[in-house]
């Protein structure tokens, strides 16, 4: 009798086993009972992909805050961090959010970091009554006309940043006409819209265009040469200034194209482009010199100092907080969550804790690293934002801050 | 020296060593532009544990693994050969008589196959009670069931009708965007300015997807295999481009507004799907079973036989009165239907539709499921799809070091090449497909397949 | 009507500039299209993975330029040397990748007489594998290349600035394309390639080594593709996904000119480059890709054999 294994049976039954077994393996739960209860603060943001640089900065800020709080020993609970990678993408954000929600010890979330991701993840956080305190999601659309109160942000929104940018270009750079470009993203298009409106109301002639095909952020399939056509058009129309609402990867390509076409006017972008990767991604790198950037930084000493900075350097592997954009904001976001948590009854079940944090956070009035933190009812910071938007310029291959609004 | 190079055994050892090195680097750490060799040196020099027994540098671990694998293959061959020798020595009836044991005969019976399906169905129905984690449940719907839906749809196009469609994701996109449109989540107002219930988006989406299948198919399905693939690829890219750029119509790169929850309001029948993934699971499962039944009966119907005829010898089929274009377009439309429905499920569960979901990469992912499982075999595609997707979900959830979620397509690409070299019929091929491929490889297929030239599938059109 | 008139005025203003740019792009497309056309002529196969050969050439020269040029500004003599070295590097890596690709992804299929579909699927798999591997090892963000020469306007023609970059492309492209044409038309190697393209069985009866000829065909196409990658990336840098779109356009160019026909590839490339360049005046940047694709679909539907017809065997 020939030895013949019935392949179909074996395959089919083993696949049925795999179907049952693997997900079960995945749900390993390990919680050791400790004397102090342990709570998790989650962070959702890009930890991989083209935007990871910004996301990792914020991760470090969160880690620093939690380390600091645990070390102080004055809290009746222990804290740990959990990180959820959404690559800054609005498509991947819901899945990351649901993972965070499923974490049974998670009480609040720092993030989501990117505006597009926030928009698609928020319905899930709203439903789960989890407070989301974002260090960087600046899109105006996130708070305009929304009724949910679980979203807060510790940076001034794009309404403020856009106005600062328009004022800079029209008033300081005396541009009579501005070409406003955007990458079609929730953040980029929103910021560009504010800049276009404000520039127009300040008296400049404004033209807008949208380039949603992303070339490299995260690597998309658009050809990197799509901006040479744009550069030709801009060279012909020669506006006084060009503003780009979007991220550093595509902005670098635009800057390179504009410079090589011979455009001599002012080129500016917002906080999505404020990154050293902007310079390494511009061809040639020297073309980035002279480019302007803005970011909501809070020039009221918005960096870590002293012992805190030393600790941060250890976590970040040498990157200073001055270079790590949004790390201080993430630190502040985490700190206010910890502060609010210390004031609620932590013996309640986790969903009650989550829900009770929301009104607690709205009551906060704290001086953080980046400035005074108190929220309006729509989740934006109180205050007009004057002096809170920093202007930067790329000089000699480095991003230098030279003023604020 | 040259003779040494030609020696097959040396070639085989060389090939195995090269593959081992490649796997070592593939599973190693990443590099980046500033340190291009970091990935390579790290792959060999970094510390790794050998099944937790001891920790040494990676190249040692991989050399050991290679030796073990080579040894295992040699052992298996030896065992197989000695078993067969013994069988041959055992009796003359071994080859002449049927080698189907009573067990095999039992298993080949249709009734046992139905029993198996029922068991799987029951297990599937109880799955949400075993896996109670919400995020896992959503993953199962979005990453596994939706992919299975798409794979069986592509299987109709590629497996049944033999058309390589690289733009299949376009139908998925159409289903998702139609859902958004019909429920008023797009900048364009919904048809008749009526905001429909998301549930009623299902027939809309399926109908529209099928219509697009016909529209795209009619002009392009006259083209030959390779060209059809490239043209469908182009159409997929065009749909993505329009979705991304037409801000006023599709919401552009930002995507749609929030889509209302799925719900039914029919007189006394009221149900709201909400954010809980379990009802979505049951809804999707129900439709998966429905589509499986429909496609399966199609396969054994007249239409299915027409597809087989067209696949094997189009000219002969035409001479029998089968209109190839009609049946090919039909395959497109039918495959599009399941993709359209999958789009509805994605749109209504994730509540937003954004363009980055609908890339060429996604089409290739579905293609891998179909190829891996076995083109043309529904059960093969389902099993193959389950295998790969469960593995992918698991890797995403607990990625081993050296694995980045973006590396997935590197592995899928390698898998495609390997499948084509070693087992083009797929892992669980239908018997008919396997026979077809064997015929082609032996060179005994009908002439039309071997001598096709030019973009059109007609021998007469060869330009002289 | 005014829509058209305003766009035509823009076209009129920018005509020579767009023409020059279009020819430069066209030469790059032509060099890549030759890879597709030669492989198709010999194997009746669309080498889907040719985009990754283009990309590998670009990456190879990127690393070489980083080492050679770095942050310095080369003088005229150094520029020429670096340029030649960069071209050789890009071309050689492209050729090696192409031959390797043939060996690994296509030859096993040829040995078992696999169905046509299998080749295309294998090509797709190889393409995905290669570019994701490069992304993993060398990073996934755009990296700017250190240009071996300084880009100045050399002279102006009818108001259009002709930059050093364009001159480089014209010269290099001309040399490569003409040499290849001569090689295929007159040399023994070329005769072998044309013979295999025309009738593989008879060619092997005549003593042509099929395997070797196919490998050489891939090598030649790969060399040109790699050089094209280097030239293409000088103004915009490299990124691991850079191969996809230009290669798809080059494929359209090859079909436009007549797939399997060498001169057709050159003609198609130039035509497509110019048409694309002029369409800048009419459509938004993101839709320019649609132009190349529309050309492909129209050609396939109305004149599938292209402008010059389909034969590689016929070089005249």
Domain boundaries, chain A: 38-155+301-374, 159-296+389-404
Mean pLDDT of B7-12: 80
Token representation of residue C308: 């010059």
Q: Do A224 and C135 touch (CB under 8 A)?
A: no
pLDDT tens digits for range B141-177: 888 999 999 999 999 999 888 889 999 999 999 999 9
pLDDT of residue A9 exceeding 90: no
Determine the average pLDDT of the residues in A190-194. Answer: 90
- Please enumerate in sequence order all residues whose Cβ is within 8 A of that of C33, keeping only pairs 6 or more positions apart, or say none: C250, C251, C253, C254, C257, C265, C266, C268, C269
Nearest CB among C113, C120, C305 relative to B443 is that of C113
Residue with tokens 């896992």: B136
C141 and A283 within 8 Å at the Cβ level: the answer is no
Test C237 with A257 for CB contact under 8 angstroms. Answer: no
| Residue among A216, A221, A230 minimizing CB distance to C245 | A221
Q: Which residues of B touch C136 (CB under 8 A)?
A: 26, 30-31, 39, 404, 406-407, 410
Q: Provide CB contacts within 8 A for B283, sequence distance 6+.
A: B262, B273, B345
In the Cβ-directed half-sphere of C250, how many Cα atoms lie within 13 Å?
A: 34
Query: What is the predicted pLDDT for the residue at A102?
Result: 85
Q: Name the CA radius of gyration of chain B, rounded.
A: 25
- Work out the percent of chain C whose per-residue pLDDT is above 70: 94
Contacts for B185 with CB less than 8 Å, ≥ 6 apart: B256, B257, B258, B259, B260, B353
CB contact under 8 A, A280 and C239: no
A212 with A185: CB under 8 angstroms? yes
The answer to whether residue C301 sits within a structural domain is no
Q: What is the pLDDT of residue A173?
A: 87
Question: Is C290 an interface residue toward B (CB < 8 Å)?
Answer: yes
Chain C partners within 8 Å of B238 (Cβ): 290, 293
- The residue of chain B nearest to residue A25, with distances taken between CA atoms, is B394
Over residues B71-98, the mean pLDDT reads: 71
Under the banding of pLDDT at 50, 70 and 90, the label for residue A67 is very high
Q: Does B247 lie at the interface with A, CB-CB under 8 angstroms? A: yes
Query: Does position C176 have pLDDT exceeding 70, yes or no?
Result: yes
Number of H helices, E strands in chain C: 12, 2
Q: Which of B348, B375, B349, B356 is nearest to B433 (CA)?
A: B375
User: With bands split at pLDDT 50, 70 and 90, how would you rate the model's confidence at A15?
Assistant: low
**How many of the other CB atoms lie within 10 Å of CB of B244?**
27
Q: Which residues of C are less than 8 Å from B162 in CB distance?
A: 117
Chains sharing 3 or more CB pairs under 8 A with chain A: B, C
Would an 8 Å CB–CB cutoff place B253 in contact with chain A? Answer: yes
Lowest-confidence range among A6-10, A35-39, A121-125, B323-327? A6-10
Domains A38-155+301-374 and A159-296+389-404 share a fold: yes
Tens digit of pLDDT for each residue in A130-184?
999 999 888 888 888 777 789 999 988 888 899 999 999 998 888 899 999 988 8
* CB-CB under 8 Å, B412 with C125: yes
Per the model's pLDDT, the better-predicted residue between A16 and B450 turns out to be: A16
List the single residue in A with minimal CA-CA distance to C149: A284
Q: What is the mean pLDDT of residues C208-233?
A: 93
Question: Does the pLDDT value for residue A33 go beyond 50?
Answer: no
Q: Above 60 in pLDDT, residue A13?
A: no
Q: C63 and B238 in contact by Cβ < 8 A?
A: no
Burial C126-154 (b: 16+ CB within 10 A, else e): bbbbbbbbbbbbbbbbbbbbbbbbeeeee
Partners of residue B104 in chain A, C-beta under 8 Å: 4, 6
Q: What pLDDT does residue B453 have?
A: 42
Query: Which residue, chain included where needed, has tokens 């009738």?
Result: C199
Task: Give the HSE-up count for residue B47: Cα atoms under 13 Å, Cβ half-sphere.
Answer: 5
pLDDT given at position C5: 67
Q: Count of domains in chain C? A: 1
Closest Cα partner for B346 from B406, B287, B388, B271?
A: B287
- C residues 118-147 closer than 8 Å to B (CB): 118-122, 124-130, 132-133, 135-141, 143
Peptide linkage before A112 cis (omega within 30 of 0): yes
Cβ neighbors of B24 (< 8 A, separation 6 or more) are B43, B44, B58, B59, B62
Contact A23 B387 (CB under 8 A): no
The Cα–Cα gap between B291 and B280 comes to: 16
Nearest to B38 by CA among B406, B407, B414, B402: B402
Q: Measured between CB atoms, which of A216, A221, A257 is closest to C141?
A: A216
Question: Closest by alpha carbon to A69, among A96, A44, A92, A38?
Answer: A38
Question: Is residue C156 less than 8 Å (CB to CB) from chain A?
Answer: no
| Interface contact flag, B416 C140, Cβ < 8 Å | no
Whether C6 maps to a domain, the answer reads no
Q: Which CATH superfamily is domain A159-296+389-404 in?
A: Response regulator (3.40.50.2300)
CA distance B367 to B381: 10
Name the residue among B40, B407, B437 with its Cβ closest to that of C115. B437
Report, as an integer, the average pLDDT of B5-12. 78
Is some CB atom of chain B closer than 8 A to the CB atom of C251? yes
The length of chain A in residues reads 405
Domain hosting C239: range is: 30-250
In a domain? residue C208: yes
Interface test with B, best of A87, A120, A144 (most B CBs within 10 A): A120
Q: Is A162 on the interface with C (CB under 8 A)?
A: no
CB contact under 8 A, A120 and B354: yes
Enter the ipTM: 0.88
DSSP symbol at B261? P
Neighbours of chain C (3+ CB pairs under 8 A): A, B
Alpha-carbon distance of B188 to B246, in angstroms, equals 11
- Of the candidates B253, B350, B406, the beta carbon closest to that of A183 is on B253
Name the C residues in 229-248 with CB < 8 Å from any B CB. 248
What average pLDDT does this structure show over A366-373? 85
Partner-chain residue, chosen from B104, B116, B135, that has the shortest CB–CB distance to A98: B135
Of all residues in chain B, what percent carry a pLDDT higher than 70?
89
pLDDT tens by residue, B197-225: 778 889 989 999 999 999 999 888 888 77
C222-253 residue pLDDT tens: 999 999 999 999 888 888 888 988 999 999 99
Using the Cβ of A252 and the Cβ atoms of chain C, whether some distance falls under 8 Å is answered with yes
In a domain, C280, yes or no: no
Judge whether C305 lies within some domain. no
- Asked if the C-beta of A301 comes within 8 angstroms of chain C's C-beta atoms, the answer is no
Q: Does B142 touch chain A (CB under 8 A)?
A: yes
A233 touches chain B (CB under 8 A): no
Confidence of residue A24 (pLDDT cuts 50, 70, 90): very low
| Mean pLDDT confidence for B294-312 | 90
Q: How far apart are CA B425 and CA B436, in angstroms?
A: 9
Q: Is C244 on the interface with A (CB under 8 A)?
A: yes
Superfamily of structural domain A38-155+301-374? Response regulator (3.40.50.2300)
Contact C142 A249 (CB under 8 A): yes
Q: Which position has the higher pLDDT, A111 or A337?
A: A337
Cβ–Cβ under 8 Å, residues B440 and C113: yes
Model confidence at B90, pLDDT cuts 50, 70, 90, reads low
User: Given a cut of 60, is residue A299 above it in pLDDT?
Assistant: no
Q: Quote the pLDDT of residue A23.
A: 42
- How do residues B405-459 score in pLDDT, each as one tens digit? 788 999 999 999 999 998 888 888 877 777 777 777 777 665 433 334 444 444 3
A residues 161-180 lying closer than 8 A (beta carbon) to B: none
Chain-chain contact of A232 with C146 (C-beta, under 8 angstroms): no
C235–A260 CB contact, under 8 Å? yes
Q: Mean per-residue pLDDT for A376-386?
A: 84
């Amino acid at each position: 009798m020939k030895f013949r294994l019935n392949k179909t049976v074996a395959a089919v039954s083993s696949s049925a086993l795999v179907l049952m077994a693997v997900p079960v393996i995945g749900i390993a739960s390990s919680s050791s009972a400790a004397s102090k209860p342990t709570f998790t603060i989650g962070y959702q943001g890009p930890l991989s992909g083209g935007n990871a640089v910004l996301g990792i900065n914020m991760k470090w800020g969160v880690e620093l805050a939690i380390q600091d709080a645990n070390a102080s020993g004055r809290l009746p609970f222990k804290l740990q961090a959990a990180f959820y990678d959404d690559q800054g993408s609005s498509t991947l954000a819901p899945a990351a959010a649901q993972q965070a929600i499923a974490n049974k010890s998670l009480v609040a979330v720092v993030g989501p970091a990117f505006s597009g991701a926030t928009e698609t993840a928020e319905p899930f956080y709203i439903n789960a009554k989890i407070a989301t305190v974002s260090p960087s999601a600046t899109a105006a659309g996130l708070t305009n006309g929304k009724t949910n109160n679980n979203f807060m942000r510790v940076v001034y929104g794009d309404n403020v940043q856009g106005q600062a940018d328009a004022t800079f270009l029209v008033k300081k750079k005396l541009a009579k006409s501005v070409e406003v470009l955007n990458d079609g993203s929730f953040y980029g298009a929103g910021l560009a819209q504010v800049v276009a409106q404000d520039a127009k109301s300040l008296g400049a002639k404004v033209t807008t265009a949208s380039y949603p095909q992303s070339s490299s952020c995260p690597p998309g399939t658009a050809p990197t040469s799509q901006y040479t056509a744009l550069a030709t058009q801009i060279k012909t129309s020669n506006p006084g200034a060009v503003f780009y609402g979007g991220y550093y990867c595509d902005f670098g390509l635009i800057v390179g194209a504009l410079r090589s076409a011979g455009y001599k006017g002012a080129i500016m972008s917002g906080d999505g482009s404020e990154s050293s990767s902007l310079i390494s991604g511009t061809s040639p790198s020297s073309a980035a010199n002279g480019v302007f950037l803005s970011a909501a930084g809070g020039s009221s000493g918005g960096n870590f100092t002293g012992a805190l900075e030393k600790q941060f350097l250890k976590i970040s592997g040498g990157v200073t907080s001055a270079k790590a954009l949004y790390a201080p904001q993430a630190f502040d976001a985490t700190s206010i969550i910890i502060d609010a948590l210390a004031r609620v009854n932590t013996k309640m079940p986790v969903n009650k804790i989550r829900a009770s944090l929301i009104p607690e956070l709205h009551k906060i009035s704290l001086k953080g690293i980046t400035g005074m933190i108190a929220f309006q009812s729509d989740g934006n910071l109180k205050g007009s934002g004057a002096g809170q938007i920093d202007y930067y310029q790329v000089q000699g291959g480095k991003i230098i801050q030279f003023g604020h609004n | 020296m040259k003779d040494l190079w030609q020696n097959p055994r040396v070639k085989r050892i060389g090939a195995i060593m090269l593959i081992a090195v490649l796997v070592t680097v593939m599973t190693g750490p990443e590099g980046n532009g500033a340190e291009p060799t970091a990935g390579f040196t790290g792959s060999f020099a970094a510390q790794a544990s050998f099944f937790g027994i001891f920790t040494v540098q990676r190249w040692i671990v991989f050399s050991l693994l290679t030796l073990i694998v080579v040894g295992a293959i040699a052992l298996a061959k030896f065992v197989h050969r000695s078993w067969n020798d013994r069988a041959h020595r055992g009796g003359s009836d071994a080859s002449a008589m049927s080698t189907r044991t009573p067990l095999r005969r039992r298993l080949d019976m249709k009734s046992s196959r139905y029993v198996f399906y029922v068991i799987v169905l029951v297990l599937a129905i109880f799955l949400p009670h075993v896996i109670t984690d919400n995020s896992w449940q959503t993953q199962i719907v979005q990453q596994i069931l939706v992919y299975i839906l798409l794979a069986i749809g592509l299987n109709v196009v590629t497996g049944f009708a033999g058309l390589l469609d690289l733009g299949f994701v376009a139908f998925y996109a159409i289903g998702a965007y139609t859902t958004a449109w019909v429920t008023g989540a797009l900048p364009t107002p919904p048809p008749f300015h009526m905001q429909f219930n998301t549930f009623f988006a299902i027939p809309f989406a399926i109908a529209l997807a099928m219509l697009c299948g016909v529209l795209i198919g009619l002009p392009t399905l006259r083209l030959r295999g390779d060209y059809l693939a490239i043209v469908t690829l182009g159409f997929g890219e065009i749909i993505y481009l329009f979705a991304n750029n037409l801000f006023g119509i599709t919401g552009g790169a930002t995507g749609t507004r929030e889509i209302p929850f799925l719900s039914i309001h029919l007189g006394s029948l009221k149900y709201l799907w909400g954010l809980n993934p379990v009802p979505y699971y049951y809804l999707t499962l129900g439709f998966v079973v429905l589509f499986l039944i429909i496609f399966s009966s199609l396969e054994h119907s007249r239409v299915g036989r027409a597809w087989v005829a067209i696949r094997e010898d189009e000219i002969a089929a035409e001479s029998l009165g089968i209109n190839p274009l009609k049946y090919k377009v039909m395959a497109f439309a039918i495959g599009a239907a399941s993709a359209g429905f999958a789009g509805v499920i994605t749109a209504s569960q994730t509540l937003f539709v954004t363009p980055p979901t609908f890339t060429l990469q996604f089409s290739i992912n579905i293609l891998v499921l179909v190829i891996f499982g076995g083109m043309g075999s529904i059960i093969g595609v389902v099993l193959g799809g389950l295998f790969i997707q469960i593995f992918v979900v698991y890797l995403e959830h607990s990625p081993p070091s050296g694995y980045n979620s973006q590396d997935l397509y590197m592995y899928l690409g390698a898998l495609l090449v390997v499948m084509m070299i070693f087992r083009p019929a797929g892992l669980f091929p239908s018997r008919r497909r396997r026979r077809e491929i064997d015929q082609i490889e032996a060179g005994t297929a009908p002439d039309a397949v071997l001598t096709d030239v030019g973009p059109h599938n007609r021998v007469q059109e060869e330009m002289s | 009507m005014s829509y058209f008139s305003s766009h035509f005025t823009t076209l009129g203003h920018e005509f020579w500039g767009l023409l020059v740019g279009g020819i430069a792009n066209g030469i790059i497309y032509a060099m890549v299209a030759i890879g597709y056309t030669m492989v198709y002529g010999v194997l009746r196969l669309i080498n889907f993975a040719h985009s990754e050969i283009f990309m590998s050439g670009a990456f190879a020269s990127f690393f070489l330029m980083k080492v050679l040029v770095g942050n310095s500004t080369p003088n005229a003599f150094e520029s020429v040397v670096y340029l030649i070295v960069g071209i050789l590097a890009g071309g050689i890596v492209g050729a090696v990748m192409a031959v390797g690709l043939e060996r690994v992804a296509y030859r096993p299929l040829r040995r078992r007489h696999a169905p046509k579909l299998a080749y295309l699927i294998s090509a797709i798999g190889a393409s995905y594998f290669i570019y994701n591997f490069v992304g993993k090892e060398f990073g996934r963000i755009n990296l700017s290349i250190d240009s071996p020469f300084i880009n100045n306007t050399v002279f102006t023609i009818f108001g259009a600035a002709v930059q050093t970059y364009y001159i480089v492309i014209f010269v290099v492209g001309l040399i490569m394309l003409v040499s290849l044409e001569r090689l295929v038309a007159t040399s023994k190697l070329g005769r072998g390639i044309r013979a295999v393209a025309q009738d593989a069985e008879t060619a092997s009866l005549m003593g042509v080594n099929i395997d070797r000829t196919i490998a050489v065909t891939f090598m030649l196409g790969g060399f040109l593709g790699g050089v094209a990658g280097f030239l293409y990336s000088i103004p915009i840098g490299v990124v691991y996904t850079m191969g996809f779109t230009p290669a798809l356009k080059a494929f359209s160019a090859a079909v436009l000119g007549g797939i399997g026909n060498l001169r057709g590839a050159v003609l198609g490339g130039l035509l497509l480059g110019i048409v694309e360049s002029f369409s800048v005046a009419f459509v938004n940047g993101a839709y320019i890709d649609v132009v190349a694709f529309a050309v492909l679909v129209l050609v396939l539907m109305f004149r599938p054999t292209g402008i010059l017809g389909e034969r590689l065997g016929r070089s005249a």
